[in-house]
Amino acid sequence: MDKVETIKRLPKLEQHVHIVGSTKPETLMGIIEDSGAKTKFNSIDDIKQFFQYKDFPHFISVYSTVNDCIIDEKYFERITYEMLESDAASNVKHVEAIFSPNDHVRRDLDYGKMLDAVNKGIKRAKRKFGITCTIRVDLVRNYGPETAMKELDWIKKKDDNIVAVDIGGSEDGFPPEPYEKVYKKAKDRGLHLVAHAGEASGPESVWGAVKTLGVERIGHGTTAVKDPALLKEIRERGISIETCPVSNLRTGAIKALNEHPIRSFIKQGIKVSVNSDDPSMFNTDMNNEYLQLNNQLGFSVDELMRISLDSIETSFLPAKKKAEMRKEFLKEYREIVSRKA
């Protein structure tokens, strides 16, 4: 088996993927035709053309236009199913998917109906591919802490399959500190804590997520590399970083993949996962992420497998499930490596 095939067959776990960002251009076109949503897209090529970004704020505006096209809760079943179908094709066994309900509630969709549709897609994918998936709710920092508190109440009423909260959205202008009480409440409710930080802003945003919000994992964390004291703090607190290399390249957070700081994180003793973030909008998938690390940053097959195992350890799966999955991953790895020889 050649190296590319070996890397594709490695068992994987994805910790950072947005459901809406997984909407394939073909699916989006189908949704627009089915729903009659008014948009500027006339073809799949129009959509593909649109999925190119000048910078991070431009990406956020494109993302918002995609949200405008989803005018019925039912479409989340198909979008979620297809996200998991694509992950399964990269031999991903478990996914912790990000869903931002208020992006859609403010467009008059119903929180409970959306959650049901997402979970239907998850169940269908499990039956078909054996892949499992839980949900983390992105409170989206742009809506402010009062709205985030309200969203915690939605979660309290209906929390089917939700394991964590997050703040995504625009880091610039929306620092983490005002979310202190929201995170405290989420923690008291037994939810795991993550924040997007250090993607579109400097290390100060990561400091806020670490010190004020008490996060267990950081989404992206790219700019943390500029601050050695911060890296030390992250390591000492046992926080892990969900890296999204191709996403960082596409939004301009890094200039080239070989400039991605993932190796510096690992050298500092910080555990990392590798993730596709918004795979359809960034034209990537989990196989591509692993292959790019091999191509552009010289990660060996063994090093990539280490990332897969660390991703299990830092996942929000229960301890028993983690131990089972670790065994399963190592068994597959031994089979792959013995076939390679």
* DSSP structural state of residue 143: G
Using CB under 5 A as the binding rule, the residues of this chain from 267 to 326 that contact Zn ion are 277
Which of 277/310 has CB closer to Zn ion?
277
Side chain identity at residue 330, one-letter code: L
Rounded distance, CA 295 to CA 290, Å? Answer: 9
Which of 9/260 has CB closer to Zn ion?
260
Per DSSP, the three-state class of 214 is coil
* Helices (runs of H) and strands (runs of E) counted in the chain: 16, 8
Per DSSP, the three-state class of 279 is coil
Burial 103-124 (b: 16+ CB within 10 A, else e): bbbeeebebeebbbbbbbbbeb
Catalytic one among 73, 77, 96, 199?
Answer: 199
- Rg over alpha carbons for the chain, rounded to the nearest Å, is 19
- Please give the C-alpha separations between residue 74 and each of 31, 121, 194, in angstroms, as whole numbers: 10, 10, 27
Which of 171/277 has CB closer to Zn ion?
277
Q: Does the annotation count 199 as an active-site position?
A: yes
- Least distance in angstroms from the C-beta of 282 to Zn ion: 10
- Least distance in angstroms from the C-beta of 195 to Zn ion: 10
Please state at what angle helix 25-35 crosses helix 56-69, rounded to 10 degrees.
Answer: 40
* Nearest-5° Cα angle at 78, 74 to 80: 105
Per DSSP, the three-state class of 260 is coil
Question: What tokens appear for 149 in the block?
Answer: 């508190």
Question: What tokens appear for 265 in the block?
Answer: 């994180």
List, in sequence order, every beta strand (DSSP E) within the chain. Answer: 12-18, 92-99, 132-138, 162-166, 192-197, 217-220, 240-243, 272-274
Q: Which residues bind Zn ion (CB under 5 A)?
A: 277
Active site residues: 199
